[in-house]
Amino acid sequence: MSAETLSVTVCDATLRDGSHAVAHQFTAEQVRAVVGGLDDAGVPVIEVSHGDGLGGSSLTYGRSGSDELELIEAAVQTAERARIAVLLLPGIGTKDDLRAARERGAQVVRVATHCTEADISPQHIALAGELGYTPIGFLMMAHMNSPEGLAEQAAIMAAAGAEAVYVTDSAGALVPDGVSARVAALRERLGDEVAIGFHGHQNMELGVANSIAAVRAGARWVDTCTCGLGAGAGNTPTGAFVAAAERSGIATGIDLFEALEVAETTVRPLMRRPQIADRGALLLGYAGVYSSFLLHAERAAERFGVPVEEILLECGRRKTVGGQEDWIIEIAAELASRSEVVA
């Protein structure tokens, strides 16, 4: 297929991955404003839920400021063309959460597991199909599995009924060659019946380059966030990706100037901090650490008086994965006690 004929479905995850960056404090009013702007820009899929998915509001992952079902309902009521998506991590979200979100009008669900644990997803993917969702598989921390291993995991999700499966670079640890290899492996294993997606982070400032590489290798879904608002250094910025895709002969169906308008007037004022690859964020990618760990690590660093980079590097050495946020406190405490012994 030539570059001129490539097209992708963009899912803007500002109101889900961006939830991490605002400590899960989005309001219904903010959701309506963002969804309205993205819908006007022609974004086809918009994800809304707690940063850690349905049911994520907790002491471990962070309490939501608003009931996520109310946020989902507000998004559905606002969108005139876009479909509203939600994220579910089995073990955090439940089947009842899936049903409740569907009752509020959510149409797409991404069922996410660690990249070696797809076998916990089939019951949720199957139920999603029964409920009338477009079910999508999400293989997180994709850098921690080989292309061939990731393809086998994707096959489990596809067999359960997933209409697309994502190579999810949760740590922003992949470089373009690694993305291409994984997408190509999934493409070869799954054939043309199941679409491939890519979800990138900016921890090593490769979100746009990785996303373009993914499309070149056969991905047909790409995740972005407006202003890059997301965990760690943020996600592939919607405006930058749309612009780069247009220059690369890849059709998104999104009006670049409308996307930039909602970025500047609606999303940027919501940002609590710049989405940049500073030292801590860059080390997330370098060490291969889950992007949402950054704020947890910064709080632990302040509490125990140890450098945040030491915490992140130790998390990488221990191969921590999403869902192990409580381990960060233990790691920080251990590092602090070692420092005391040395002193």
User: How much of the chain is in helix, strand and coil states, percent to nearest 5?
Assistant: 50, 15, 35
DSSP annotation string for 217-269: HT--EEEEBGGG-SSTT-B-BHHHHHHHHHHTTEE----HHHHHHHIIIIIGG
Average pLDDT on 128-138 reads: 98
| Contact yes or no for 112/89 (Cβ under 8 A) | yes
Residue 199, annotated as binding a ligand: yes
With pLDDT > 70 as the criterion, what percentage of the chain qualifies? Answer: 98
At 4 the pLDDT is 52
- pLDDT at residue 17 tops 70: yes
Decide which of 291 and 94 is more confident: 94
Give the least confident one: 60-69, 99-108, 130-139, 314-323. 314-323
In terms of Cβ atoms closer than 10 Å to its own Cβ (0-12, 13-18, 19+), residue 92 is buried
Residue 170, annotated as binding a ligand: yes
- pLDDT at residue 151 tops 60: yes
Residue 201, annotated as binding a ligand: yes
Q: What is the dihedral of CA 243, 246, 251, 252, to 10 degrees?
A: 10
With pLDDT > 90 as the criterion, what percentage of the chain qualifies? Answer: 83
The token duo for 168 is 């999810």
Chain Cα centroid distance, residue 161: 21
At 3 the pLDDT is 42
Q: What is the rounded CA–CA span in Å between residue 82 and residue 70?
A: 18
Cα→Cα distances 196→137, 152, 199, 220, 339, Å? 9, 14, 10, 6, 46
Residue 166, annotated as binding a ligand: no
- pLDDT at residue 326 tops 90: no
Ordered by start, the domain boundaries in the chain are: 3-270, 292-342
Give the least confident one: 67-81, 113-127, 231-245, 324-338. 324-338
- pLDDT at residue 32 tops 80: yes
What's the pLDDT band for 341 if we cut at 50, 70, 90?
low
At 340 the pLDDT is 62
Average pLDDT on 30-42 reads: 98
pTM recorded for the entire structure = 0.91
Q: Of the listed 20, 24, 114, 143, which one is catalytic?
A: 20
Per-residue pLDDT tens digits for 40-63: 999 999 999 999 999 999 988 889
Q: Does domain 3-270 have CATH number 3.30.560.10?
A: no
Residue 17, annotated as binding a ligand: yes
| Neighbour tally for 91: CB within 10 Å | 12
Provide the CATH number for the domain formed by 292-342 in this structure: 1.10.8.60
The token duo for 262 is 């909602």
Average pLDDT on 127-132 reads: 98
At 279 the pLDDT is 86
What's the pLDDT band for 1 if we cut at 50, 70, 90?
very low
Please indicate whether residue 143 is annotated as part of the active site: no
Residue 7, annotated as binding a ligand: no
At 215 the pLDDT is 98
